A and B are shown apart, each in its own frame.
Chain A
Amino acid sequence: MPENPLVPSVATIDRITPETAASDVKTFQVTFDDPAVMERFNYMSGQCAMLSMFGVGESMISITSSPTRRGFLEFSVKRTGRVTDVLHEAVEGQKIGVRGPYGNHFPLEMLKGKNLVFIGGGIGLAPLRSLINNVLDNRKEYGRIDVVYGARSPGDLCFKYEVLENWTKYENAQVHVTVDRGDETWTGPVGFVPAFLEQVNPSPRDAVAVTCGPPIMIKLVLQSLAKLGFTDDQIVTTLEMKMQCGVGKCGRCNVGDKYVCIDGPVFTLSQLKQLPPEF
């Protein structure tokens, strides 16, 4: 393990899975080359890691695998900028750099025994997927589970096997999927996530809602949750900011006096309301 927290360790991309029809989201399964580094990389759902494409730079990406499934890490990445462009050109067997894990995590203790409502949009399901699989692997510790997931089109839905087949098999767990625009094959609901969430109408009683997605979706989902009777303490979400160091030094990811890289990315809505609206 490097002494300097800014120096990544070498990891190998073992498997690449295209998630979307256009392949603009891919899931990269990686392992550290040094088994000792792999062993020590203990993370919690909601945490992120910095991926290095040497010669181009680094990107902070949420860890989408669940810590209950050890031995590898998974990152689902949308092709968006310089680093993710190069990552999307990578082939299985290629070496990259990884450092982390960084940030806080979803508050598992707060979720225990509660009914859980997960609301995701597009690639925003990536961090939630870690938490959902984590919760499902300890199914008895949680109450009813509702996953509300939406994407622009059927081809933009990620993690289709889990969303459409695997997660629905668990007891007292329901998955509700919508798309903004259907196509000739789509027979499910059509509509935006916030309105669809109101139709699904989950009860706020003994419940916690966790939401992640594009900023505009999160904004409207928060309003829908309020309409449904969820209080600010019952709503958990994540923030996204530009990051460089990941360890609270380089300065750019602050919102007020909080650094999203070490104090976030996970906040309850009550905590978020204490911060200046600058994200």
Chain B
Amino acid sequence: MLLTITADNLKSLLDKLARDSLLVAPVLEDGVTRLKPVKAASEIALDYSNTATSIKDFLFPQSEDLLRFVTDGTLSIEEIKPERAQVAFGIRPCDLASVALMDKVLTTGEYADTHYQARRKNTVLIGLACESPADTCFCTSYGYNPGHSAGADVMLYKDGDQYLAEALSDKGREVVGGPGEGLFKPADEAAGQAVKKAYAEKEVPFGKEVDVEGIDQLLDNFFDDQYWDDVSKKCLGCGTCTYVCPTCHCFLLTDEARGGEGLRFRCWDSCMFANYTKMAGGHNPRPSKKERVRQRFMHKLNYYPHRYHSYLCTGCGRCVAMCPVGLHIAGVIKDVKGVKAHA
């Protein structure tokens, strides 16, 4: 059922959510809008194309403790479980889509990542459709769009001075019927559908330039191409692309100990770093930038699609905006198509 909520009532709802649980929302600070825990709706920024960093920071944090150990003479291990529930507000369609891609890696197969799984279960995602996609956005290249709502528990679409709303899961219905009780009104179904359609059909100019169609297959026989030597030369190996990417999920396990006790935690790692694949004996199967740059793009556009049947990119455009040397996935897709067309 489609609902509406006024801007004032949405503020009341967010105030309630901030009071009752951990609320994460876009905040403008020093000219950058990013997701942060907030205490009140007044802290939240609503005028942004997308947040500089994604919901990944809160589902798969940069660093998280896994266990505590004591080693004085004997050995005891105590598992650490992820903390309390959270609500994330203002999540854009590309980032909602990225969560589904992370889910495939971290929650399917023989092993589940129990920390990620627990955070997913304890997180309510409130999506916000895109009014004005940035010039780096290309979600439509992958078949998503500015109104894409899959993955949201509640989806909001700004409609004049109010919001169209839809609860899409049990968690979402609990928000609408719980803290949101009395704040939402039923929407006119036809008018609501028209709003959704307008968002789904909204133009994403950069998306028109990036043609992803068939790139997975084009890359099947591209591993040995000279292109990787050329394109990797300008990479600085800084890892920014992997950190801002909402779907990059590589991690490192490491210990910190003092005396007879310590912590084992995991933190983000990056396939752009030289030590990432270096083995104890000194052998490194990806010794230079060429192998590392190739790995990142092959993983997103070929290896992951082989394994999980979708691309590991949602066109959020963060790497396009933030790579210091302009070496990003949209460019690689265009380049590979160009090389193949002239082959």
Would A247 and B111 be within 8 Å (CB), given that A54-B75, A54-B255, A278-B291 are in contact? yes
Taking CB as reference atom, which chain B residue is nearest A251? B250
Task: Decide: B75 and A249 in contact? CB cutoff 8 A.
Answer: no
Interface residue? A35 (CB, 8 A): no
How many residues on A have C-beta within 8 angstroms of the other chain's C-beta atoms? 44
Interface hits, A39-93 → B, CB 8 Å: 54-59, 80-84
Residue A4 CB within 8 A of the other chain: yes
Report the minimum CB–CB distance from A121 to chain B (whole Å). 14
CA gap between A276 and B120 in the complex, in Å: 34
Q: Residue on A with the closest CB to B270?
A: A251
A54 to B264, Cβ gap below 8 A?
Answer: yes
> Is B110 touching A55 in the complex (CB atoms < 8 A)?
no
Asked if residues A57 and B253 are in contact (CB atoms below 8 Å), the reply is: yes
Which residues from A are CB-within-8-Å of B278? 242
Q: Determine the chain B residues whose CB is within 8 A of the CB of A249 once the complex forms.
A: 105-106, 111, 113, 249, 251
Q: With an 8 A cutoff between CB atoms, is B299 at the interface?
A: yes
Q: Number of residue pairs across A and B with beta carbons under 8 Å?
A: 126
Which B-chain residue is minimally distant from A259 (CB atoms)?
Answer: B307
| A96 contacts across to B, CB distance below 8 A | 75
CB contacts (< 8 Å) of B67 on chain A: these are 4, 7
- At the interface, yes or no: A173 with Cβ under 8 Å from chain B? no
From 8 to 33 in chain B, residues with beta carbon under 8 angstroms from any chain A beta carbon are: none
B114 close to chain A: CB less than 8 A: yes
Give the residues in chain A near B111, CB-CB below 8 Å: 5, 247-249, 262
Chain A residues within an 8 Å CB radius of B302: 257
Residues of B close to A83: CB separation below 8 A? 280
Shortest CB-to-CB span from A252 to chain B, Å, is 5
Q: Which of chain A's residues have a CB closer than 8 A to the CB of B269?
A: 244, 250-252
Give the contacts of B264-287 with A (CB-CB under 8 A). Answer: 264, 266, 269, 271, 276-281, 283, 285-286
Contact of A244 among B115, B252, B285 (CB under 8 A): B252
Q: Is the CB of A2 within 8 A of B75?
A: no
In the bound assembly, the distance between CA atoms of A4 and B281 in angstroms comes to 29
A84 — nearest CB in chain B belongs to which residue?
B280
**Residue contact A278 to B306, C-beta cutoff 8 Å:** no
Q: Is the CB of B77 within 8 A of A7?
A: yes
B198 contacts partner chain A, Cβ-Cβ < 8 Å: no
B157 at the interface (CB under 8 A from A): no
Closest 4 CB pairs of A and B: A81-B280, A251-B250, A55-B257, A95-B75
Interface residues of A (CB under 8 A from B): 2-10, 54-59, 80-84, 95-97, 215, 240-242, 244-245, 247-257, 262, 276, 278-279
Using a CB–CB cutoff of 8 Å, the interface residues on chain B facing chain A are 66-67, 69, 71, 74-77, 79, 105-106, 109-115, 223, 249-255, 257, 262, 264, 266, 269, 271, 276-281, 283, 285-286, 291, 295, 298-299, 302-304, 306-307
A250-B253, A255-B285 given; 16 more Cβ-contact pairs under 8 Å: A4-B79, A54-B71, A80-B280, A84-B280, A97-B75, A215-B283, A242-B277, A242-B279, A244-B253, A247-B110, A247-B113, A248-B110, A251-B299, A252-B276, A257-B303, A276-B223
